[in-house]
Structure 1
Amino acid sequence: MSVRISQQHWQALLAELADARRQSHLVTYRALVERLQLPTPAMQTLTAALEHLAALDAKAERPLRSALVISQGASRLPRPGFFDCAVRLGRFSGPCDGVAAASWHAAEVARVFEFDYPEGN
């Protein structure tokens, strides 16, 4: 199943992540779905958009902004699909849970907070 995001929702997603980056904080998947008011299937749409953004960032050799989006569970990590995507992009290797994933994620988030992304990207 192919899932697409509207240009308006895409720009809103980029703005939300830019705001989170400027404030040096993380945002949950649920909060993004609610703020963006994504249509059903909202979580699949958000996931597809975040994976597309990760691919764009990887291609441009930038830190993965999608790392700013986490589960609201106790782990405070992204969902396993984020790590699977990072593996496909050659950015991470290893299991999607545990110390290695948490350590890599923390380092990636720090890189995102420090990186100066071009406007409108």
Structure 2
Amino acid sequence: MSVQILKRDWEKLLGVLDDARQQRHVLTYRAVIERVGLPSPAMQVLTAALEYLARLDAEAERPLRSALVVSQGASRLPRVGFFLHVQQLGLLEGEPDGLEAASWHSAEIARVYAHDYASAP
């Protein structure tokens, strides 16, 4: 099953992530789904969109904006699937659910906050 995001939802997603970046905040998956108003199956749509965005950012050698989306749990980290995808992109070595992943994520968030995405899709 292929999951796609509507253009208007994609643009909203980019806006929501840019607002979070400018305010130096992270957002939960649920908050992003609600703010963008994603249709069902919302989590699959969001996951596919965030993976696509990560690929675009990685190919352009930009910090991954998708790192701003985290789980509601105490860890405040993305789900393991995010880290597996980051490994596939060649950006993370080590276990996707270990200290290396958490350290990488913390550094990536700092890079996202500092980057200007004005010309990015």
TM-score by length of 2: 0.97
Q: Which residue of 1 aligns with 2:16?
A: 16
Secondary structure, aligned partner of 1:15: helix
CA drift of 1:118 comes to 2.4
Q: Which residue of 1 aligns with 2:80?
A: 80
Q: Structure 1 residues 89-98 or 63-72, which shifts more? A: 89-98
Secondary structure, aligned partner of 1:93: coil
Equivalents in 2 of 1:120, 1:44: separation in Å? 24
Q: Which residue of 2 aligns with 1:100?
A: 100
CA drift of 1:94 comes to 1.5
Instruction: Show structure 1 runs of 5+ residues with no match.
Output: none
Equivalents in 2 of 1:77, 1:52: separation in Å? 19
Query: What pairs with 1:25-104 in structure 2 (closer than 5 Å)?
Result: 25-104=25-104
Aligned residues: 121
CA drift of 1:50 comes to 0.2
Equivalents in 2 of 1:27, 1:68: separation in Å? 6
Q: Alpha carbon RMSD of aligned pairs, Å?
A: 0.9
| Structure 1 segments of 4+ aligned residues over 4 angstroms from their partners | none
